[in-house]
Chains A and B, each alone.
Chain A
Amino acid sequence: MLEQSRPARLTLRVVALGYLALLLGIPVGVVLYRTFEHGIAPVWDAITTPAAISAFTLTLEVAAIAVPLNTVLGILTALVLVRGRFRGKAVLEAIVDLPFAISPIVVGLALVLVYGRIGWFGPWLADHGIQIIFSLPGIVIATVFVSLPFVAREVAPVLREIGDEQEQAAATLGASSWQTFTRITLPAIRWGVAYGIVLTVARCIGEFGAVSIVSGKISGETETLTLLVEKRFNNFDLAGAYAASALLAIIALATLLAMTRLNPRKDHQS
């Protein structure tokens, strides 16, 4: 192996850790310090205002709809892409990747152009009294769009790895497709699914750009937690912005913990 002299190794270590500290560690530390420098009481007050509670509830509601949708359809997508044999599979694969590469702002604008007042379905929806943009369904659709690839992305390699011999055995022994799926496939891919769900939850809770266009930012109604952070910052309520950020940061840290816990299991399995 490449022999590194002690000074060389220490230099590399200091440069790498210094970069991480300046970019990640210290800024996050300063935010946490600024948030809690006057104790926990003002933070608690700032995250229990009616607007904050409503934003937090809305954020959870959106995640509660978007995550199960993307989980079920993500697993199905992975199954179709790995096990299916049909023309145009490469195209479907490419479409699954698209949400990773598209700016959230473009996503938000695009949804307004489909479901908004001036959008393709706008007149029809208005005639039937259905509101999507500037209300919950719009926020949910935007969130589903940006977090669509995660579960499929995590499950597909596991599916490929485990092969389909056991599934074939189950089928020859007379199991129905559903039985084969619940008894053989699902247990085999469960850690991949779990990892995908964690990533999806993080993205759903943290989405900002797409939601900021489709939500209309109506305080107490369509304002999510990330939008509340922005509004408080722009209103010079720095302490309030930090407090709401801290709440989001804690969710992020929990996500990080779940990721480090799940990753070895997932790798071990595949």
Chain B
Amino acid sequence: MSPSLATDNGLSEVPPASPAGPPGCSRLRARPHRRARAGGTGPLGTGVVTIWLSLIVLLPLAAVTAKSFDDGAGRFWDVVTQRQAVNALIFTLVVSLLAAAINAVMGTLVAWVLVRDDFRGKSAVNALIDLPFALPTIVAGLTLIALYGKNSPVGIDVTYTRTAVLLALMFVTLPFVVRSVQPVLLELDREMEEASTSLGASPGQTFRRIVLPNLRPAILSGAALSFARAVGEFGSIVLISGNVPFKTEVSAVYIFKLQESSDNPISASAVSVVLLGVSLLVLIGIRVFERRGDQRA
């Protein structure tokens, strides 16, 4: 996923007001059709994009939603409230929240060290942060098994435990908070910190009262993206967790089993719709939060 997603959020910003233009530009404004055409795409472009997005994204999601209600709303409710489904969902939400929280703290710390500290090999470390974005998830899972699996060189074996799922989610969501906090930290006005220090605040006080409030939106937005990613994660979890029902089984794996092993697309769709709802809520939450932040700024 794009590291710049959280901060220079390209698509959700309010577009800058079109330049009013100096008086000499009145000729341009008098011919609005020219204006609209310059660099624009016209109704044809809008139409093509709308059809493309509907066909690729909306149509399949509509199919899942429709399928989930094939046997009626009552059956839908029965499926999603089955013990195994509820267990998987609760575990998914809790472990995703935990991974997001850990990376909110550790990601901020890593970003801090990368911006404010200086040591040899810093640029290499900085490049390494994006590795979880570049590495296929199945390879990420295998990688964790190599160190924390059965033949662990350090004698730690977490396979088939809930810790394994947490570890995999921490791995895949690591870059989000780092990459959303880093640019904010770089831009941060250091004079405020100087003022705070010269007025006798301890480093801890300065960090809590001055730095942290400035970073909070970036940390929260990075953590929310981590959570959204973690909730749907499959590839990195499937090998290391053992997918034990009522223990290490997450919703995505449960859906996979319903579809592939039980050949039960209606139940699989019902659980998918619940997961889809969670994703949508997180996305909407991020948007509302960012919009509020924009208005305050």
Residues of A bordering B, CB below 8 Å: 1-5, 8-9, 12-13, 15-17, 19-20, 23-28, 30-31, 34, 73, 76-86, 92-107, 109-114, 118-120, 141, 144-145, 148-150, 152-157, 160, 163-165, 167-168, 170-172, 177, 180-181, 184-185, 196, 199, 202, 205-209, 212-213, 225-226, 229-230, 233, 241-242, 245, 248-249, 252-253, 255-257, 259-260
Contacts and interface: CB of A to CB of B under 8 A. Distances in A.
B158 interface: no
Given A95-B53, A101-B228, A107 B38 contact: no
Nearest to A113: B63
A66 B103 CA distance: 32
B239 A230 contact: yes
Interface in B267-288: 268-269, 272, 275-276, 279-280, 282-283, 287
A238 to B, nearest CB: 8
A105 B92 CA distance: 14
Contacts of A150: 2
Query: Is the contact region of chain B dominated by helix, strand, or loop, or is it mixed?
Result: helix
Contacts of A196: 2
B136 A2 contact: no
B197 A105 contact: no
A77 B49 contact: yes
Nearest to A22: B147
Given A28-B131, A145-B57, A256-B130, A180 B39 contact: yes
Given A2-B211, A31-B146, A23 B48 contact: no
Given A79-B40, A148-B57, A30 B146 contact: yes
Contacts, number: 332
Contacts of B252: 103-106, 209
A168 B283 contact: no
9 contacts: A12-B113, A27-B143, A76-B48, A98-B61, A110-B63, A149-B2, A209-B137, A252-B131, A252-B135
Given A209-B234, A253-B134, A13 B113 contact: yes
A253 B128 CA distance: 9
Contacts of A19: 106, 109-110
A24 B174 contact: yes
Interface size, B (range): 35 or more
B259 A112 contact: yes
A253 to B, nearest CB: 7
A209 B235 contact: yes
Contact of B60 (A78, A82, A145, A177): A145
Contact of B234 (A4, A82, A105, A172): A105
B39 A95 contact: no
B207 A168 contact: no
B53 A107 contact: no
Interface core residue of B114, B138, B174 (most chain A CB under 10 Å): B138
A92 B58 CA distance: 11
Nearest to B227: A101
B255 interface: yes
Interface in B148-186: 148, 153, 167, 170-171, 174
Given A8-B203, A109-B255, A168-B38, A153 B11 contact: yes
Contacts of B146: 27, 30-31, 34, 242
A212 to B, nearest CB: 8
Contact of B11 (A96, A112, A212): A96
Contact of B41 (A1, A84, A171, A241): A84
B46 interface: yes
Interface stretch (B12-20, B76-84, B215-223): B12-20
Interface string B1-34: 1101100111111011001000000001000001
A98 B11 CA distance: 12
A226 B132 CA distance: 15
Given A105-B256, A144-B56, A245 B64 contact: no
Contacts of B295: none
A156 B11 contact: yes
B43 to A, nearest CB: 8
Given A13-B117, A157-B4, A103 B231 contact: yes
A209 B172 CA distance: 14
Nearest to A100: B1
